[in-house]
């Protein structure tokens, strides 16, 4: 019988969360809402995105990387079998939302509910025990099941300081960091993820009036029942995020996605923002998080996948790295980093102590005020996410307590010390607020300015940032984020686990990204161009069909020197060394699909992908112009390709059809 045999969902082991005590059973008739995350149907890998890529449109994403209709239908059939209601089915977001009673959901997912009481607030929350079970039919389809545990998953990363003697308005901080002038972020939408609190429009009006700025457009978006509900301590977080972004990118639209503080709410909020085809945010700012190991593996995977989706869609996600130093405040004498800032698809934002006047920085060091009980920047090395390709040359150390070669946190930094904090209006009063919660929106505002100036989103910018060296950054070389006398970590020249690459020089970063955009984010392919005057332009119609062949790199090491030196006469498993990797082939296929080209052949063994398309499409895809010389088609400009293909494509053939060789035979008359 269908759906009778069951298996354990990988990574669903329940994680102990300090501060919560079992309180008793859950009311079996209570309604439970569950988000089921499904696998992608496409083949764009994490490694491909981490190394640079071309973003997809919403339609392209849904077509190439959303969930398949058959997978969605099978989950719906399971829901019907289990007596659950299908509230939403969204293949593009790869999720199916189900509702049922606690008793029905327990039976459907083979888990047991229990109430947990928070030691700090006294409130009780539904949680679960053990693992999650799913039918065998779904074991390769379902990635995560969220919503079974309703305990809070994250904290806001802001700190107030009523005794601060130095403080700045956000525009003053932007001036110190040389933010681009003459742009306001007009035409951009910045999304903010909030898991509690709210804002009052009257406060926003008064605040921006005090800065001599127009009140930006701010919209509250409800996710999973979350709402703009001012009146709690989290209001400081919400107002900090809105007011920093609105002050440094005053022309941008701001959309605040309010969601419950659960793994389900957090993931759904990011997914909704990334896939929002109405508001179309180009940046998402997140100032909430928690220690990596406070998340179950399946919840962490779901969050990471949501951030990967955002990166694939060309949305930059800035995330605060935490305010509790190298231990992330866990208190177990171990090193921890904060999640989701430790996701390789996040732009992790650390903190500094900033001093300066006008546009001149006089001092900037790592933020560490733990001696005064006022926090320190989060940072370190992930224990779960491997070192991403873009950090290969950054000098990220191994996680010293586990020896794991992990993702380094943060990537960048900015003013976060509450003793040099931001002047923010909350519930009718101005106060000084700091924390890495200020740095995520500070960078989000900068990116909105850059996006407006560039005329296109910078998207997942980590690979580009790490390729710049020190260009575009104030390198922070003084201080540490050690909060428990473990000796970790210290600032140094270049990237470090306290402030990453450093704080921004906005104008320099814009210039660096502008140089890439001027070539359409494409890089030239080496090769000669016909001499001037030898080409007649515009001979053939734009809709003429042409072909081109992309030649790929070998997947194995180069053994040419060994062959030439005579040290070997034959290479074992040569077919494996001389072929292209399936991942490289898949990346070229994705590039072709994006530009509407037909794949005539994709052959890893011959390291080639042959494409067909109209002259207009091929010229646009490869940034090349055509003409003719005599009776031959030929290119009249260099070929260019996106950075995502620059290391894997070694040649693009077919644009120049002139004869390239002649036969070496001769004849002479006989007799």
Q: How far is CA 492 from CA 4, 246, 466, 502, 621, in A?
A: 58, 33, 16, 10, 42
Beta bridge partners of 135: 6
pLDDT of residue 244 exceeding 80, the answer is yes
513-529 average pLDDT score: 54
What is the number of residues in the chain? 671
490 and 578 part of one domain: no
Positions of E strands within 444-496: 473-474
657-670 average pLDDT score: 43
User: HSE (CB half, 13 Å, CA atoms) of 194?
Assistant: 35
Q: Confirm whether 663 is domain-assigned.
A: no
Q: What is the pLDDT of residue 1?
A: 59
84 and 222 part of one domain: no
pLDDT of residue 107 exceeding 50, the answer is yes
Dig out the tokens for 83 from the structure: 């007596």
646 and 547 part of one domain: yes
Q: Confirm whether 667 is domain-assigned.
A: no
Q: What is the pLDDT of residue 535?
A: 39
Contact present, 15 and 293 (Cβ < 8 Å): yes
> Is the C-alpha dihedral spanning 329, 335, 339, 342 positive or negative?
positive
22 and 102 part of one domain: yes
Q: What is the pLDDT of residue 446?
A: 98
> Is the C-alpha dihedral spanning 39, 44, 48, 50 positive or negative?
negative
431 and 510 part of one domain: yes
117 and 197 part of one domain: no
- Predicted confidence band at 556 (pLDDT cuts at 50, 70, 90)? low
Which residue in the list 149, 194, 241, 411 is annotated as catalytic? 241
Q: Confirm whether 666 is domain-assigned.
A: no
Q: Confirm whether 658 is domain-assigned.
A: no
542-560 average pLDDT score: 70
Burial of 378 (0-12, 13-18, 19+ CB in 10 A): buried
pLDDT of residue 48 exceeding 60, the answer is no
Q: Rounded to two decimals, what is the model's pTM?
A: 0.78
Domain boundary among 81, 114, 146: 146
Which residue in the list 237, 263, 309, 411 is annotated as catalytic? 237
167 and 185 part of one domain: yes
Most confident of 286-290, 627-631, 660-664: 286-290
Minimum mean pLDDT range among 187-201, 495-509, 604-618, 623-637: 623-637
Q: Which domain holds residue 618?
A: 523-653
293 and 209 part of one domain: yes
Higher pLDDT, 511 or 618: 511
Structure confidence by residue, pLDDT tens digits, 448-482 = 999 999 999 999 999 999 999 888 999 999 999 99
- Predicted confidence band at 632 (pLDDT cuts at 50, 70, 90)? very low
Q: How many domains does the chain have?
A: 3
- Predicted confidence band at 171 (pLDDT cuts at 50, 70, 90)? very high
- What strands, in cross-sheet order, belong to the sheet with 632-635? 536-537, 626-629, 632-635
Q: Confirm whether 578 is domain-assigned.
A: yes
| Residue of 330, 491, 334, 332 lying closest to 410 (CA atoms) | 491
pLDDT of residue 621 exceeding 50, the answer is yes
The 3-state DSSP class for residue 572 equals: coil
504 and 624 part of one domain: no
142 and 170 part of one domain: no
Q: Percent of the chain having pLDDT more than 90?
A: 70
Q: At 462, which CATH number? A: 3.40.50.200
Q: Confirm whether 671 is domain-assigned.
A: no
pLDDT of residue 279 exceeding 80, the answer is yes
The 3-state DSSP class for residue 449 equals: helix
- Rounded to whole angstroms, the Cα distance separating 191 from 313 reads 14
Dig out the tokens for 632 from the structure: 């031959």
pLDDT of residue 528 exceeding 50, the answer is no
Quick one: three-class SS letters along 186-239? CCCEEEEEECCCCCCHHHHHHHHHHCCCCCCCEEEEECCCCCCCCCCCCHHHHH
Domain boundary among 489, 517, 545: 517
Domain boundary among 517, 546, 561: 517
pLDDT of residue 637 exceeding 70, the answer is no
Is 118 noted as a catalytic residue in this protein? no
Structure confidence by residue, pLDDT tens digits, 299-313 = 999 999 999 999 999
pLDDT of residue 665 exceeding 90, the answer is no
Q: What is the pLDDT of residue 560?
A: 41
Q: What is the pLDDT of residue 667?
A: 38
Mean pLDDT of the chain: 87
Which residue in the list 144, 167, 437, 644 is annotated as catalytic? 437
pLDDT of residue 49 exceeding 70, the answer is no
Q: Confirm whether 77 is domain-assigned.
A: yes
Higher pLDDT, 420 or 595: 420
Dig out the tokens for 520 from the structure: 């359409």
Q: What is the pLDDT of residue 52?
A: 58
132 and 165 part of one domain: no
267 and 180 part of one domain: yes
Q: Confirm whether 190 is domain-assigned.
A: yes
């Amino acid at each position: 019988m269908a759906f009778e045999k069951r298996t354990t969902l990988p990574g669903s082991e329940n994680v102990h969360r300090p501060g919560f005590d079992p309180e008793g059973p859950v009311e079996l008739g209570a309604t439970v809402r569950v988000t089921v995350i499904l696998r992608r149907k496409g083949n764009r890998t994490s490694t491909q995105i981490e190394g640079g890529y071309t973003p997809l449109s919403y339609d392209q994403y849904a077509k190439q990387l959303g969930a398949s209709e058959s997978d969605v239908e099978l989950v719906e059939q399971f829901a019907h079998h289990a007596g659950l209601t299908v509230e939403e089915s969204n293949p593009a977001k790869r999720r199916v939302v189900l509702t049922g009673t606690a008793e029905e959901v327990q039976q459907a997912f083979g888990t047991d509910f229990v109430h947990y009481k928070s030691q700090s607030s006294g409130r009780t929350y539904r949680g679960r025990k053990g693992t999650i079970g799913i039918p065998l039919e779904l074991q390769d389809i379902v990635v995560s099941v969220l919503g079974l545990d309703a305990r809070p998953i994250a904290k806001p990363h802001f700190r107030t300081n009523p005794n601060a003697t130095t403080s700045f308005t956000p525009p003053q901080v932007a001036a110190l960091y040389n933010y681009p002038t003459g742009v306001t972020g007009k035409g951009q939408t910045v999304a903010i993820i909030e898991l509690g609190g709210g804002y009052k429009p009257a406060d926003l009006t008064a605040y921006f009036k005090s800065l001599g700025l127009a009140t930006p457009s701010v919209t509250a978006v409800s996710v999973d029942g979350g709402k703009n509900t001012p009146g709690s301590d989290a209001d400081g977080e919400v107002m900090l995020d809105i007011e920093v972004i609105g002050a440094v990118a005053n022309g941008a639209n701001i959309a605040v996605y309010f969601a419950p503080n659960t793994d389900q709410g957090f993931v759904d909020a990011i997914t909704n923002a990334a896939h929002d085809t109405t508001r179309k945010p180009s940046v998402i700012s997140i100032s909430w998080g928690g220690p990596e190991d406070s998340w179950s593996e399946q919840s962490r995977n779901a969050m990471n996948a949501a951030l990967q989706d955002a990166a694939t869609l060309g949305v930059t996600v800035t995330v605060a790295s935490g305010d509790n130093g190298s231990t992330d405040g866990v208190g177990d004498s171990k090193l921890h980093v904060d999640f989701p800032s430790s996701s390789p698809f996040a732009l992790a934002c650390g903190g500094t102590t900033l001093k300066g006047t006008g546009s001149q920085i006089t001092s900037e060091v790592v933020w560490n005020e733990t001696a005064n009980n006022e926090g320190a920047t989060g940072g370190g090395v992930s224990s779960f996410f491997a070192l991403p390709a873009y950090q290969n040359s950054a000098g990220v150390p191994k996680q010293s307590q586990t020896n794991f070669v992990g993702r380094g946190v943060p990537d960048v930094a900015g003013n976060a010390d509450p003793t040099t904090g931001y002047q923010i209006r909350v519930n009718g009063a101005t106060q000084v607020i700091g924390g890495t919660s200020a740095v995520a929106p500070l960078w989000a505002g900068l990116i909105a300015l850059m996006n407006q100036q560039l005329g296109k989103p910078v998207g997942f910018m980590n690979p580009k940032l790490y390729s710049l060296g020190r260009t575009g950054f104030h390198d922070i070389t003084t201080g540490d984020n050690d909060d428990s006398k473990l000796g970790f970590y210290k600032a140094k020249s270049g990237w470090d686990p306290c402030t990453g690459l450093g704080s921004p020089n906005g104008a320099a970063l814009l210039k660096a990204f502008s140089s890439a955009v001027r070539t359409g984010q494409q890089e030239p392919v080496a090769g000669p161009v016909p001499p001037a005057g030898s080409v007649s332009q515009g001979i053939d119609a734009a809709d003429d069909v042409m072909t081109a062949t992309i030649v790929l790199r070998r997947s194995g090491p180069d053994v040419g020197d060994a062959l030439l030196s005579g040290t070997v006469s034959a290479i074992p498993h040569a077919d494996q060394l001389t072929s292209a990797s399936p991942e490289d082939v898949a990346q070229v296929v994705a590039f072709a699909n994006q530009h509407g080209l037909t794949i005539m052949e994709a052959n890893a063994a011959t390291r080639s992908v042959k494409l067909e398309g109209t002259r207009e499409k091929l010229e646009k895809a490869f940034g090349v112009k055509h003409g003719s010389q005599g009776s031959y088609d030929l290119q009249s400009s260099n070929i260019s390709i996106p950075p995502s293909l620059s290391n894997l494509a070694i040649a693009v053939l077919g644009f120049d059809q002139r004869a390239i060789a002649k036969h070496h035979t001769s004849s002479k008359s006989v007799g």
